[in-house]
Amino acid sequence: MRTLEQCDERLRAVVQAQDFAGSQLAVSEYRQAFDARWGALSADERRKSELPERAAVLMGWALCMITLFRTALYARSRAAKAGARYVRNGHVSAGHTWGMAG
């Protein structure tokens, strides 16, 4: 089993790589590592621990990044589809030379 720190690094890496399926697995692994670390703490250590706050910040960051990436991907997909419709409807000829004077 990976350490909490290793799971933190892995989650950040897969999110930044825009690996959405890998992100789900990394979150699950992080949760398991968090639970193991949390379970090993005494009640006094839990009261003083910053683990919950760090985990919340990490998960908030991951959610924000995944949402941004997916939104950008959706926008690119819509633009590509709109461009394809534009060409398909005859608005652009196959031999058009953009920006060529003459």
- The pTM of the full predicted model, rounded to 2 decimals, is 0.71
Q: CA 54: distance to chain centroid?
A: 18
Q: Are 82 and 35 in contact (CB under 8 A)?
A: no
> What three-state secondary structure class fits 26?
helix
- Give residue 12's Cα distance to chain centre: 8
Q: What is the pLDDT of residues 54-86, one digit of tens each?
A: 999 999 999 999 999 888 777 777 777 777 777
**pLDDT of 96 above 60:** no
Token pair 């760090």: residue: 54
Q: What's the pLDDT at 98?
A: 60
- By mean pLDDT, which of 41-50, 51-60, 87-96 is the weakest? 87-96
Q: Looking at the predicted structure, is the pLDDT value of residue 38 above 90? A: yes
Segment (H or E) for 20: helix 20-39
Residue type, position 20, single letter: F
What pLDDT band is residue 100 in, cutting at 50, 70 and 90?
A: low
- Quick check: 97 pLDDT over 70? no
